[in-house]
Amino acid sequence: MPEFSSFARHYINFGALNSLGIATSAGAKQLTKVQKGDWKDDRKTEAKKASGVRQGAGFRRSQGGGTVTLTVYREVGIPEVNWLRLQDDEKVFTYTVADEKQGLRLNFTCTVSNVDGSSDENGENMMTVVLAYTKRYIN
């Protein structure tokens, strides 16, 4: 009987960045500052009608990518990922979400769409990072 997944890891693969934010080599990095991650597929399928057919006549599938929305903790000093730099550089990279115990693994080919920030009186300093993706791969 399958178990519920209760733990997921987030990875980014954009190449290792030096202190100036310049890529020096390739490699996936596990992220530890992601509070929440949501993904939305913009593709859809519609059932189409036709004259002379009482029910649906067929399917029409629209193409497209989607978005991954991350809520991440803001950091002091050098962040584990400089989301603003990736946005400014228009860098394309792979973002991965992997469930525990060989569960679901999603890979997205994406770029940073926008970065928003928030702060409150309790010291919750967060960023909302929206990644636009063109391709999603399931392993």
| Tens of pLDDT, residues 50-102 | 999 888 999 999 998 999 999 999 999 999 999 999 999 998 899 999 987 77
Percent of the chain with pLDDT over 70: 89
What CATH architecture does domain 8-71+89-138 belong to?
Answer: Beta Barrel (2.40)
- Tokens 């497209």, located at residue: 64
Mean pLDDT of the chain: 87
When computed from its CA atoms, the radius of gyration of the chain, rounded to whole angstroms, is 19
pTM over 0.85: no
According to the model, what pLDDT value does residue 19 have? 54
Burial of 94 (0-12, 13-18, 19+ CB in 10 A): middle
Confidence of residue 126 (pLDDT cuts 50, 70, 90): very high
The residue ranges of every structural domain in the chain are 8-71+89-138
Mean pLDDT (whole number) for 96-117: 89
Of 17, 132, 137, 139, the closest CA to residue 66 belongs to 132
